[in-house]
Structure 1
Amino acid sequence: MSEHPKFHLPVMLPVRPVATSTACLVATLSSRWGLLAILSGLALCLGLEQAWAQQDMAAFSIWEAIVKWTPLIFWGTGQGLGGFVLNIWVSVLAMTIGTCLGLMLGIGQVSPHRVLRWPSWAVTQLFRNSPWLVLLFYFMMLLPYEIRILGFSVPFSGWFKATVALSLPVMANISEIVRGAILSIPTGQWESAESLALTRRQTMWRIILPQCVKRMIPPWMNWYCILVMSTPLISILGVQDAMTLTQDALAAEGRMELLIPFYLWLMLWFFAYTYPIARWTRRLESRFAVKL
């Protein structure tokens, strides 16, 4: 028989004893580098804790400044209208004036008489394509500070001039909304009114315009929101609105870290005012929707 080749089996060496975790900790502490690492870790933790404390104090200081200046920015100084309330008042008054004038211009644009149609179209295009800021400066310089009528002086404050200036582009855009809504009514409505022997004025106010309401509400509300967002432009003219008072508060504090929080806080006010209007507009659309 042939002999089998001889194989050398591996020999297992004895296992080196492994130090326990307690022994490793003692060895680390006993070495200089380990002690230095522990001290560095403690210093880092203390530094982070102090930084977090400073950030908490800074955040608290920012909120404290916001709370302190919020009444002034919202109500103003108490001497007449001012602050965010003035922005809302200017937007409501300008929208009211612009809507009334725009309704007349819109009806004039669809008038069969050229004497009314062409001037209405020209005024609409003029103020519709004019920059709002230019109109603000123009009317601020054009209108006097006061006029005398029968011995009585009627003052023209800065916010009133700004209201008149803002109402003009609103008037032009409302005029286009009214014109488009009137032209969207089917011609059968006009023919039916004519068959009932109604005059054009009666047809417009009793038949056509009531049907235009549901068509005009969404763009009308949209333009009101645009107008509200544009009211901070009046701060350039020195009117004591929310933007002007916010800038005064920042100048009084003299802290750059308050710049973003203050303007963000003011932006949230405008959002909180306009967003419910947008939701209400959707409800009105559903309410006035025509079900065929």
Structure 2
Amino acid sequence: MRMQQKPHVRGHMAVLHPMRIRAEALPLADRMFNLWTFTALMLAFAAVLIAPAFAQDATPEKRSIIAVLLEWTPTLGKGFGFNVLISIMSMAIGTILGVILGVLQVSPIRPIRAVAWLVTQFFRNSPWLVLLFYCILLIPFQIEMFGTEIPFPGWIKATIGLSLPVMAYMSEYVRGAILSIPTGQWESAETLGFTRRQIMTNVILPQTVKRVLPSWMNLYAVLTMATPLVSIIGVNDVMALTRAALSAEGRIDMLIPMYLYILSWFFIYCYPISAATRVLERKYAVNT
């Protein structure tokens, strides 16, 4: 009697692919209901805030609030784009430094691990605005290199200041993701003759991407909403331009509509990121 031979399964070793459990997604009807409910609440909230301002705008010699907002939209749009640019650059710098710092937190060398932990905790628990002020005051306005003076504008200092807390949070995300990898992954890779560096770069870090990605996206949304802090230290972002517009118009009734207008921009930009974060959390849920 001939025994049935099991088919050969091609692919990578199981050690490189841990088990994954996908959480059950919410029904489409429930998701649409939540989205429409939230949108309706936001519109109702906006109507309550902006209605008094429209009521005060009854005199014919004054331009309507909508006309004023449309007139200032190109200028405010440039400022908002500046906020987005600062957030992207801060996130890029903070991510690179955070990954390095997170790897150092799991170093087998105790002094390196202790220093990395101390740096992470210091910047993670420091107020963002205080870090911005320190960067503005401590970093010179221009740097002389090889007899050439290179200017160092305030927005670059602000980018560095915002990248420091991002670095600290990313360090914690990476450290937690690395520690969540089963120890069997390390042991199996060591039996194959991989060095610790090869194990980290080829086996461990690729698996941390799915674990870190949702938190990374959520951190970017938080960072974007924190970029208006740079206006306090003299950077001409959307908030600074909004104050300039209100001063130029000289109308008290424009205060609430103008800031609500800017708030809606941040909401439209950040809410899809938060929604995508929730989707990724369900998609990349892992059994650790």
* TM over 0.5, shorter chain: yes
Identify the residue that residue 82 of structure 2 maps to in structure 1. Answer: 86
Pair 1:107 & 2:110 matched: no
Identify the residue that residue 234 of structure 1 maps to in structure 2. Answer: 230
d(CA) in 1 for partners of 2:57, 2:95: 53
1:141 to 137, 141, 148: 137
1:61 to 61, 64, 74: 64
Pair 1:177 & 2:173 matched: yes
1:165 to 145, 156, 161: 161
Q: Which ranges of structure 2 fall in alignment gaps of 5 or more residues?
A: 1-53
Stretch of structure 1 that moved more, 170-179 or 270-279? 270-279
Contact 2:101–2:116 under 8 Å retained in 1: yes
Q: From the superposition, tell whether residues 53 and 84 of structure 1 become closer, same or farther in structure 2 (CA, over 3 Å).
A: closer
2:186 to 190, 194, 207: 190
Q: From the superposition, tell whether residues 54 and 175 of structure 1 become closer, same or farther in structure 2 (CA, over 3 Å).
A: closer
2:260 to 255, 258, 264: 264
d(CA) in 1 for partners of 2:283, 2:235: 39
d(CA) in 2 for partners of 1:137, 1:52: 41
Q: From the superposition, tell whether residues 194 and 238 of structure 1 become closer, same or farther in structure 2 (CA, over 3 Å).
A: same
Structure 1 residues 193-231: Cα deviation after superposition (integer angstroms, max 9, x where no partner): 111111111111111111111110111111101100000
Aligned residue for 1:153, secondary structure, equals strand
d(CA) in 2 for partners of 1:88, 1:113: 39
Pair 1:73 & 2:69 matched: no
TM-score normalized by the length of structure 2: 0.77
Structure 1 residues 236-280: Cα deviation after superposition (integer angstroms, max 9, x where no partner): 011110000000000111111111100000011011111122233
Q: From the superposition, tell whether residues 53 and 274 of structure 1 become closer, same or farther in structure 2 (CA, over 3 Å).
A: closer
The structure whose RCO (Cα within 8 Å, separation 6+) is larger is 2
Larger gyration radius, structure 1 or structure 2: 1
Identify the residue that residue 42 of structure 1 maps to in structure 2. Answer: none
Contact 2:57–2:65 under 8 Å retained in 1: no
Stretch of structure 1 that moved more, 57-66 or 100-109? 57-66
Which AA in structure 2 matches 1:209? L
Q: From the superposition, tell whether residues 99 and 70 of structure 1 become closer, same or farther in structure 2 (CA, over 3 Å).
A: same
**Aligned-pair distance for 1:288?**
4.2
TM-score normalized by the length of structure 1: 0.76
d(CA) in 2 for partners of 1:57, 1:171: 53
Pair 1:156 & 2:152 matched: yes
Which AA in structure 2 matches 1:88? V
- Root-mean-square deviation (CA, aligned residues, Å) is 2.3
d(CA) in 2 for partners of 1:164, 1:291: 36
Which AA in structure 2 matches 1:72? T
Aligned residue for 2:140, secondary structure, equals coil
**Aligned-pair distance for 1:143?**
0.7
d(CA) in 2 for partners of 1:52, 1:71: 26
**Aligned-pair distance for 1:57?**
5.9
Identify the residue that residue 29 of structure 1 maps to in structure 2. Answer: none
Structure 1 residues 87-125: Cα deviation after superposition (integer angstroms, max 9, x where no partner): 000000000000000000000000110131011011101
**Aligned-pair distance for 1:152?**
1.8
Q: Which ranges of structure 1 fall in alignment gaps of 5 or more residues?
A: 1-50, 76-82
Calculate percent identity across the aligned residue pairs.
56
**Aligned-pair distance for 1:192?**
0.8
**Aligned-pair distance for 1:58?**
9.5
Aligned residue for 2:272, secondary structure, equals helix
Q: From the superposition, tell whether residues 53 and 89 of structure 1 become closer, same or farther in structure 2 (CA, over 3 Å).
A: closer
Instruction: Count matched residues.
Output: 235
Q: From the superposition, tell whether residues 53 and 278 of structure 1 become closer, same or farther in structure 2 (CA, over 3 Å).
A: closer
Stretch of structure 1 that moved more, 274-283 or 136-145? 274-283
